[in-house]
Amino acid sequence: MIRLVALDLDGTLLDGRGRVPAENLEALAAAARQGVHLVVVTGRSYPFALQAVDELPDPLTLVAYNGAVARVRGGGTLAVRHLTQDTARRVLEATRPWRASTLMQFDRDGAGQTVFDRMSWEPPNRRGYYERIRHLVRAVDDLERALDDDPPVQVAFNGGTREMADVVAAVGAVDGQHAMAVSVTSYPARDFTLVDVNAAGATKGPALADIARHLGVARHEVFAIGDNHNDVDMLRWAGTAVVMGNAEPELLALGLPVTAPNTEAGVAQALRRYVLG
């Protein structure tokens, strides 16, 4: 029996307009009535993720920043995995040529949760996101100096797919003693890729395992669904896993069951088959 459902957000739970289809909401409400724990596991920041899940039933756990922060909606923080200031500094030094595509995320409330120095928010792939989180964003003179106060939860990059491949290579060349986890979310049709550098172990799979242990749920009782590269370790860890029909080729090649695309409420279809039945 499934006792925990783990859901990616963009490209999975949300449709092409960034909304939760009514069919998905109905299926999740039915699962919650059966006592199933709902866990949204996303690369989004915590406040940005909150904006997307307002209609989901409680109790709801949010795992944000690709596994770095876990919180109960309306409640306390379950876990925070900070990136050490030294490691963040090494990553920033190695990626200085891409500073116009770089920001840092902190586990803070209010302005200063996201900081940047040279990033432009004008490109279409960034503009909509900025409009929704601009009250949390702070411009600083230099990202390295922003590390003097607190350790971040993430150094993040976004931009064209080829440019971000170079960023991944530069991060990979950082001295191996500076332990970190790198998550990639790619949208080739939009020529847009996000690269998130977190603390070692702060990816979706280990974060989901921690939440399951916290809730007293066994691995074989966990269902997970996703669509992109950063979902792979979560899908591999879950006892039952399904891939969205709109998923990236790497995920479709995992050999897992495939549901309908996010534009056709694929989450609801998968829940009816594997959870609600």
The CATH code of the domain that includes 228 is 3.40.50.1000
Same domain, 59 and 128: no
- pLDDT confidence band for 179 (50 / 70 / 90): confident
Q: pLDDT exceeding 70 applies to what percent of the chain?
A: 99
Q: pLDDT exceeding 90 applies to what percent of the chain?
A: 86
Same domain, 228 and 169: no
Same domain, 179 and 92: yes
**pLDDT for 110-137, tens place per residue?**
889 999 999 999 999 899 889 989 999 9
Q: Which of 139, 164, 199 is the last residue of a domain?
A: 199
- pLDDT confidence band for 76 (50 / 70 / 90): confident
Same domain, 76 and 206: yes
Q: Which of 151, 175, 199 is the last residue of a domain?
A: 199
The boundaries of the domain holding residue 260 are 4-80+202-274
Same domain, 73 and 122: no
**What's the total number of domains in the chain?**
2
* Amino acid identity for residue 241 in this structure: A
Same domain, 262 and 240: yes
Same domain, 228 and 173: no
Same domain, 213 and 124: no
Per-residue pLDDT at 177: 63
Same domain, 152 and 108: yes
**pLDDT for 239-277, tens place per residue?**
999 999 999 999 999 999 999 999 999 999 999 999 998
Q: What are the respective helix, strand and coil percentages of the chain, to the nearest 5?
A: 40, 25, 35
